[in-house]
Amino acid sequence: MALLPVEEAVRRLLDNTAPIIAIESVPLISADRRVLAKPVAARLTQPPFDASAMDGYALKSEDVASLGSRLKVIGQSAAGHGFAGAVQSGETVRIFTGAPVPAGADTVLLQEDAKIIDGGFIENSFSPEKARHIRPRGQDFVLGEAILHPGMRLDPGRLMVAAGMNHPEVEVYRKPLVAIIATGDELLPPGSPLGPNQIVASNTFAVSALAVAAGADVVDLGIVPDRPELIAAVVQKAVEAGADVLVTLGGASVGDHDLVQSTLKSVGMVLDFWRIAMRPGKPLMVGSLGSMRVLGLPGNPVSSMVCALLFLEPLIAKLAHLPALSREKLAFTTTDLAKNDQRQDYLRASARLNADGRLDVTSYSKQDSSQMKIFANAGALIIRPPNAAALPAGAECKILQLRDVA
């Protein structure tokens, strides 16, 4: 079977994936970063009354047209405790920020522009125009106004206005559910006492974190030994959990001990493609088991993460009604890059901004796909297209940015 180009593999994966249409109602406190499924309209008018924007005195602007005008203070209006009466000519009401402007008043004189006179009077040292320091009723929004729309991803500002519109909860699309299975007789969870032929299972934690950051919920189905009946049983758990995506870690090739692909086929998986023209990550497998998408990631940690970045991250985004995260950028290599072969390479590299603000990347000398330490320190992956010509130091190159660059 010929190796499939990366771009074609990603396109086929996404073309065969439809966004989740299931909707659920969630309280605002849990709705951050969720995607709205229905519009959110105001259930009230805000502000519900003409409100003072400052501390001062509510009065008639005509009464303070001249400096030194004397007005009698007849009461006060505070937030939650408005003045019940009306302001007549020659009168004023002490008012505080957010309080209702009493009937009859059409402006607010700032408290620093008012001199208190014995006997309950004030004199003005400034003449505010009509409507000064008054927030008119409905200035923010009015009853029935649709402010938030389907497809919006909620954030602090949008949650603020949803609450202000008197919504205790919102209707959002259900998050994609990703089930993760690690396979291999050699694997044990972190913290375990290891035998001479065993290693710590690390991929689950990386892939799970990436999936959550991309907008999914994750169910970890643990480590499964290399036995077809046990793999099949755990796959069934993913089906029963209603997973939208099943991610298997390791065993996706066709060696004597690579049982994932054959087992999945035996329980009904339709294989779409596998073997991608990329390094690392060539054994990636993509298929479907009923409505559940299946991603078989390689067992080597770096291969697993590169494939998760290229395939799982955009898959979750499409399922979740989110735009794909744009990691691809232009940078400049600080080292010579050799001519490439027929596979697309993703070279781990450090990344930094130079004195001119240019993004420079430096490829690590070691690129073995089992070396986690280098990936943990890398800021970028340099993309070397198939059959790319050699590049000298200082040349422009494409990268996938892994983390923010200081």
Task: Please give the pLDDT value at position 251.
Answer: 79
pLDDT value at 369 more than 90: no
Distance CA 14, CA 18 (A): 8
* Span 13-60, pLDDT tens digits: 999 999 999 999 999 999 999 999 999 999 999 999 999 999 999 999
Q: The domain at 6-21+175-319 falls in which architecture?
A: 3-Layer(aba) Sandwich (3.40)
Q: Where in the chain is the domain with CATH 2.40.340.10?
A: 328-401
Give percent of the chain above pLDDT 90. Answer: 94
Query: What's the pLDDT tens digit per position in 138-194?
Result: 999 999 999 999 999 999 999 999 999 999 999 999 999 999 999 999 999 999 999
Residue 256 has pLDDT above 60, yes or no: no
According to DSSP, the residues that pair with 181 across neighbouring strands are: 248
Decide: helix, strand or coil at residue 209: helix
Residue 331 corresponds to which tokens in the numbers above? 């940078």
Q: Give the per-residue pLDDT at 247.
A: 98
Tokens of 40: 């959110």
Domain with CATH 3.40.980.10 in the chain: 6-21+175-319
Q: What is the mean pLDDT of the chain?
A: 96
Please say if the pLDDT value at position 255 is more than 90: no
pLDDT tops 80 at residue 201: yes
Mean pLDDT of 391-403: 97
Q: Residue 2's pLDDT band (boundaries 50, 70, 90)?
A: confident
Note the pLDDT tens digit of each residue in 280-336.
Answer: 999 999 999 999 999 999 999 999 999 999 999 999 999 999 998 889 999 999 999
Interatomic CA distance for residues 62 and 60, integer angstroms: 5
In the chain, list all ranges with CATH 2.170.190.11: 51-135
**Superfamily of domain 51-135 in the CATH hierarchy:** Molybdopterin biosynthesis moea protein, domain 3. (2.170.190.11)
Q: Where in the chain is the domain with CATH 3.90.105.10?
A: 23-46+140-173
347 pLDDT tier (thresholds 50, 70, 90): very high
Q: What is the pLDDT of residue 188?
A: 95
The stretch 64-79 carries a mean pLDDT of 97
SS3 assignment, position 370: coil
Confidence class for position 253, pLDDT limits 50, 70, 90: low
CATH topology of domain 23-46+140-173: Molybdopterin biosynthesis moea protein, domain 2 (3.90.105)
- Highest CATH level, class, for 328-401: mainly beta
Beta strands in 103-216 (DSSP E): 107-110, 114-117, 121-124, 134-135, 146-148, 169-173, 177-183, 187-188, 199-200
pLDDT value at residue 227: 94
pLDDT value for 382: 98
pLDDT number for residue 181: 97
